[in-house]
Structure 1
Amino acid sequence: MKIGYVVAAATPFEYLATLDPERPVSLYDYVVVDHVEVEGGELANVRLLGQIIRLYRDPYSAKRDLPLYSVISEVSNNILEVHLAKVKVLGYLSGGELRQPKQPPRIGAAVYLADDEEIAELFRVKSGLCVGRLATRDVEICLDLEGVKRHIAVIAATGSGKTWFSVVLIEELLKKGAKIVVIDPHGEYVPIRDSIYKLGPFSARVVKVSKHHQGDLMYKIGVLDSEPDALANAAGVPPGAKKIRYAIYLAWAYARRVRKELGKAVGLAFMQKVLYTALRGEAALNKLFQQLKLSGDFPTEDLKMLAKRDRHAIFSALTYLKKLKRLGVFAPRSTPLSKILADITIVNLAGVNEEVQDYVVSHLVNRIFQARVRQVRELKGVKIPWPVVLVVEEAHRFAPPKALRKTKSYEAISRVASEGRKFGVYLVVITQRPSKVDPDVVSQCQSQVIMRIVNPKDQEAVRESSELLAQDMLENLPGLDVGEAVVLGPVAKLPVVIKVRDRVLEYGGADIELSTAWRVDKTADVVQMWRRLYKSPPPPSVAVAAAAMRVLAKRRVGDRVEVEVSDGDKRAVVTFEDGVPVCSLCGRAGCPHVYKALEEAVEVL
């Protein structure tokens, strides 16, 4: 369908077209121009593909000083309006390849809407990750799986759909057989485990770092697998508290000596024992190390001296070690990678402070990277036999600019960004603040998925990190709808604007719907039903406990209603028969599982 003509500024890279006002087109749509190009010394007729990157309207032949309002109001219906489009030249297809023209299109050449078949051919890939469709057409867009090897950055303002896109990307990667590890600061990806069956026979595992949050197993870090300063940071010891840090260092050094000589797995408990013994005096300390039967004299002079001169430092060090022990993350041995990894492993970091999160991410990423190095180079030690995709949500927490603050996880993530391709560790960085992610990390992510961005600093950070993002597209980013994204880099043959498809897996990152969360009538119905069942109002503790639970499924079986409730690592099925609830865990007693089930089932009872 003809929509206009080339009128000005025609170069091999872009041109200006005037459009038929009766045939409106959309921003980012694709157009073609009949073109003559020189190939092999001969003239060849080709169809030159282009993309509309700007649309605007101007009055025809208006002077620079536009008429005053009083004049316009009289003649507004008679002003001729010109519809204009700025078109970026993409190239022409020849032998299945997209080639760049050496000649500009002819002024006056007719501009046509590109056929769906031409656009589909333009983006066709052998092994694709089908994440959505064109924003302007019903044409499926699949990203190139091989482009994942060059790393991906997903960048968007809050509420633009970045987590939605990341879940869709995870689904597509799983279908291709990928092994995925998700770094999840808030536990938003945990629901994937309970909905993975919807996608297929894949295994999903949630690894937690706080015993109070959801997970299949705890991630443990071997105390002696790290540096004592890192332990002090995780415990919250102030940077200037040098004597306290020194006491922790001494206890750690003695624990390490014991492991080296005796092969015993020792951890925080042994470090505490060393410091407690030091407070009891020199004789008690000598007796402890004699009992251990270490070879040679054990150097305890520094610890004895600290105990004499600054007992307060040792008391404080013990307090911090107790705090570290309560976290439950640190242990004599690290959790084996073989127990952690599945088709998709979600590392639920919720419930611990940023220092511990930083430490866990650094420790885990380094272990994964080293295991892949051993596999590729055929070295001894723990190996991972297949490539791993590492998805880092809220990357600005773990890899901020070095001038802003230093994190341990930055070093691990930066190493994956720069060297991971060689060893089969691929990075997907997700952030809503690209200006607060180290530019070296973002620049290593050659493929970018950019959704709506409003903040000028973030727009500038995106522009500096991407050589492929044209200025016109950058200016259009605030106008993207929720779920729309500009995709560019090795995963796409050309920069393309897509609408992300519907997801299959669940996630917990959606905004709270206040009208539902604050529904007074629903709460009143639950309380009324509870009163009818138990002859008293529900205790506040029951309602609070129920608020932390999730409903996994609700179904009707004949006259019976069943509600499946998730309570941390437990599952409860509440069955309503003749209006009477029975909890599979608690029986007929009024419990938080029944309260949660009433919230979901009260309207059908």
Structure 2
Amino acid sequence: MRQIGICIGSTRPNRVYFITDELVRIGQFVTLSYLDGGERKNLLGMIQSLERDNPYLPETIKTTQQAESIKKFSEKENTIKGEIHILGEIIEAGDEVFLQVPRTPPLPAAEVFEASPELLKKVFGAKSKKFVRIGRLLSEREEVPVYVDIEQVVLRHLAVLAVTGAGKSNTVSVLLKNIINLGGTVAVFDFHGEYSKSKLTRNGKTAINHIQPLINPASLKPKEFASFIGIKSNAYVQFRYFRLAYEHLIKQLKEEKGENWQAHINTSDFLKRLKETIESIADPETEIGGKIKGKAREDSLFEVLNKLEDVEFELGHIIKLGVPPLIENIKPGMVNVFDFSELDEDVADAIASNILRWALEERKRAVRGDSSRLPFPLLIVIEEAHILAGEKRNTESKYYIARIAREGRKFGLGITVVTQRPKGLDKEILSQMNNMIILKLVEPEDQKHVQRASESLSQELMEYLPGLNPGEAIIIGNMTRIPLLVKIDRAEEKIEGNDIDVIGQWEEILKEDKNKVKDIMSELDDL
């Protein structure tokens, strides 16, 4: 090992200061070595901050000429000082290396060495089949692969956060490719139709299962169905009228046609009878109208009917009575894509909450040993997570995302939230994401929101966020145990973003205009 410096000043169990003559780098890994009570101690650390100093060039210098004249004779007096964050004591066990939390501060004047690539490969390499490669250490000259515990991604959840263009799609692609190569199952809520075009494969065959979001209105809870047709959570009167009508109609149909009533009525007839039931609330002589104290509010009834008719007209093609719950379409070992790109936020929320609710219930059944529609662990990836789990918006999806974040690990059900607007994401849900891959974040409010939600994101690490290049990330949480600066691998089978080729389309217009001019000139020549 090559010595690059020595510790100075007082030391702490998790932090030391050092001085060096070498050109070291922020994020670089180092080892500290010293004898303590006759026992050799070796610690692994990461350079957290650096500064250069020249005692002959204080900040009080007034002119550039004065600084230039001093510079000529004092260049050899330049010193580099820095701060090292102690990651742990190096414990070697055969071919494997583990880090143990140090209980005592290192000795002052401990020697600082450049961490060898062999050591780092053992520390950050795959310790079992559940570890998958995600990238390489950013600050090391020699390539040192970084592996993450994919089981911890599922059991302890994950947030992928970055500004647009920083590499979110590539990062998710790398993770999903690794998961399906392990035979894992993923469900994706896709708001932009990006995943449907993905070329992700396993064993040379496509690994994308596109699921059309057909909705069975009879499988929705009243609150989900109300959200589906656009009744806001604070529209209490509208929701009460809708719930009364919906529950009354279901009870009637079961009495008329039995428990298998869905086999005896088509979707349009069901919706027609639902509208008739809603209208009958206005008549106090009807059974359902008699349940309303006082006169029914006609404006609220009209709003409910109007919303139901609008949804029937615009989204009638995805409403189908009798279809099984959407989770029955999830195929094991594949990336199952629910395409929300043509849906507005309220409709997407109703469908997403229904999937989340069924997923939680079915995974509970599987763990109890009962018959289940989801007999395998599942990771749910939520793109544009601020839409379904916004800080200032209460949605049905937000409730179930929070529940899965709290309970999912017991049932093999994981959540990955992906967003370019961290400050718009509910902070309680963000705090439940015990793993984070944070790419470039520029806006201070986004940075603060993330830092408040994660104890592992120190002020020093947060300062890196604005300067990260595309594909560079800070990884923190159970998936790595140690906060890392990583260059994410480039996915060969990438999920592409949906940026428009603006220049290309403008050029096409120019070509068309030129061709039109040529045609006109040709016609004039023929005259």
Q: TM class by shorter-chain length?
A: 0.7 to 0.9
Local SS of the residue matching 1:219: coil
Task: Report the CA distance shift for 1:276/1:191 in structure 2 as closer, same or farther (over 3 A).
Answer: same
> Is the CA contact (8 Å cut-off) linking 2:473 and 2:487 kept in structure 1?
yes
CA distance in 1, matches of 2:281, 2:109: 96
Residue 11 of structure 2 aligns to a residue whose secondary structure is coil
Residue 157 of structure 1 aligns with which residue? 163
The amino acid of 2:24's aligned partner reads V
% identity of equivalent residues: 26
Q: Is residue 196 of structure 1 aligned with residue 200 of structure 2?
A: yes
The alpha-carbon distance between structure 1 residues 514 and 228, as it changes in their structure 2 partners (threshold 3 A), is same
Residue deviations 1:371-403, cap 9 Å, x none? 1111111335x43111001111121111123xx
1:390-424 C-alpha deviation (Å, 9 max, x unpaired): 111121111123xx221110111111100000011
Is 2:17 aligned against 1:26? no
Query: Is 1:85 aligned to 2:86, yes or no?
Result: no
The answer for the alignment partner of 2:390 in structure 1 is 400
Check conservation: 1:3, 1:112, Cα contact below 8 A. Answer: yes
Q: Partners of 2:87 and 2:281 in 1: how far apart?
A: 79
One-letter code aligned to 1:505: E
Partner residue of 1:503 out of 487, 491, 494: 491
Q: Which of 221, 226, 237 is residue 220 of structure 2 equivalent to?
A: 226
Amino acid in structure 2 at the alignment position of 1:126: S
What is the Cα deviation at residue 187 of structure 1?
1.5
1:2-41 alignment runs, 5 A limit:
2-20=3-21, 23-37=22-36
Structure 1, residues 113-152: CA drift from partner, whole Å, max 9, x if none? 1110011111132121111111123111110133221111
Mapped to 2, the partners of 1:508 and 1:526 lie a distance apart of 32
State yes or no: 1:324 paired with 2:311: yes
Q: Structure 1 residues 3 and 515, CA, compared in 2 at 3 Å: closer, same or farther?
A: farther
d(CA) in 2 for partners of 1:488, 1:281: 55
Counterpart selection for 1:140 from 139, 145, 148:
145
Offset at 1:508? 2.9
Counterpart CA distance in 1 for 2:8 and 2:296 is 87
Deviation at 1:304, TM superposition (A): 11
Aligned partner of 1:93: which letter?
I
Counterpart contact for 2:43–2:89, Cα < 8 Å: yes
Q: Where do residues 86-485 of structure 1 align in structure 2 (5 Å cutoff)?
A: 86-94=83-91, 95=93, 96-124=97-125, 125-127=127-129, 128-137=131-140, 138-148=143-153, 149-192=155-198, 195-197=199-201, 200-201=204-205, 203-207=207-211, 218-237=212-231, 245=239, 247-261=241-255, 262=257, 263=259, 264-265=261-262, 267=267, 269-273=269-273, 275-276=275-276, 299-302=287-290, 316-325=303-312, 326-327=314-315, 328-336=317-325, 337-342=327-332, 343-379=334-370, 382-401=372-391, 404-485=392-473
- Look up the equivalent residue of 1:189 and give its one-letter code: Y
The structural deviation recorded for 1:357 is 0.8
Q: Equivalents in 2 of 1:140, 1:488: separation in Å?
A: 16
In structure 1, what is the Cα distance between the partners aligned to 2:370 and 2:382? 27
Give the counterpart letter for 2:306 in structure 1. T
* Alignment-mate amino acid for residue 138 of structure 2: A
| 1:526–1:249 CA distance, 2 compared to 1 (3 A) | farther
Q: Provide closer, same or farther for how the CA distance between residues 69 and 176 of structure 1 changes in structure 2, counting only shifts above 3 A.
A: same
Moved more, 162-171 or 54-63: 54-63
Q: Counterparts of 1:173 and 1:280 in 2: how far apart (Å)?
A: 53
**Whole-angstrom distance in 2 between the partners of 1:37 and 1:268:** 81
- Larger RCO (CA within 8 A; separation ≥ 6): 2
Q: Deviations over 1:469-497 (max 9, x none)?
A: 22211222222221111112111131111
Structure 2 CA distance, aligned partners of 1:503 and 1:340? Answer: 24
* Farther-moved stretch of structure 1 (86-95 vs 116-125): 86-95
Q: Deviations over 1:260-298 (max 9, x none)?
A: 322311556424235458879999x99xxxxxxxxxxx8
1:165 to 1:526, Cα distance in 2 relative to 1, 3 A: farther
> Which secondary structure state, in structure 1, belongs to the residue aligned with residue 12 of structure 2?
coil
For the 8 Å contact 2:159–2:437, the answer to whether it is kept is yes
Superposed displacement of residue 199, structure 1: 6.2
**Partners in 1 of 2:405 and 2:375 — Cα distance?**
20
Amino acid at match of 1:135: L
CA gap of 1:16–1:260, structure 2 versus 1, over 3 A, is same
Alpha-carbon contact 2:28-2:139 (below 8 Å) kept: yes
- Tell me if the contact between 1:123 and 1:493 (Cα under 8 Å) persists in the aligned partners: no
Give distance in 1, aligned partners of 2:56 and 2:10.
18
> Normalising by structure 1, what TM-score?
0.74
SS in structure 1 of the partner of residue 195 of structure 2: coil
Could you list the runs of 5+ residues in structure 2 that have no partner in the other structure?
none
CA contact (8 A) 1:37 1:103 kept: no
Contact 2:162 2:419 in 1 (8 A): yes
Instruction: Describe the shift of the 1:511–1:84 C-alpha distance in structure 2 as closer, same or farther (beyond 3 A).
Output: farther
Instruction: Please give the residue correspondences for 1:517-556 in structure 2 after superposition, counting only pairs within 5 Å.
Output: 517-520=505-508, 523-524=511-512
Question: How far apart are the structure 1 equivalents of 2:460 and 2:203?
Answer: 38
Distance apart, 1:227 and its partner CA: 3.9
Structure 1 Cα separation of the partners of residues 478 and 103 of structure 2? 24
TM-score, scaled to structure 2: 0.84
1:310, CA displacement in angstroms? 6.8
- Tell me the distance in 2 between the aligned counterparts of 1:278 and 1:484: 55
The RMSD of aligned alpha carbons is 3.4
DSSP 3-state at the match of 2:374: coil
1:219–1:335 CA contact under 8 A, matched in 2: no
CA distance in 2, matches of 1:37, 1:97: 20
Larger CA deviation: 509-518 vs 120-129: 509-518
Residues 473-482 or 253-262, more deviating? 253-262
Once structures 1 and 2 are overlaid, which stretch shifts more, 352-361 or 269-278?
A: 269-278
Contact kept, 8 Å, 1:187 with 1:348, in 2: the verdict is yes
**Following TM superposition, by how much is the alpha carbon of 1:61 offset from its aligned partner in structure 2, in angstroms?**
5.1
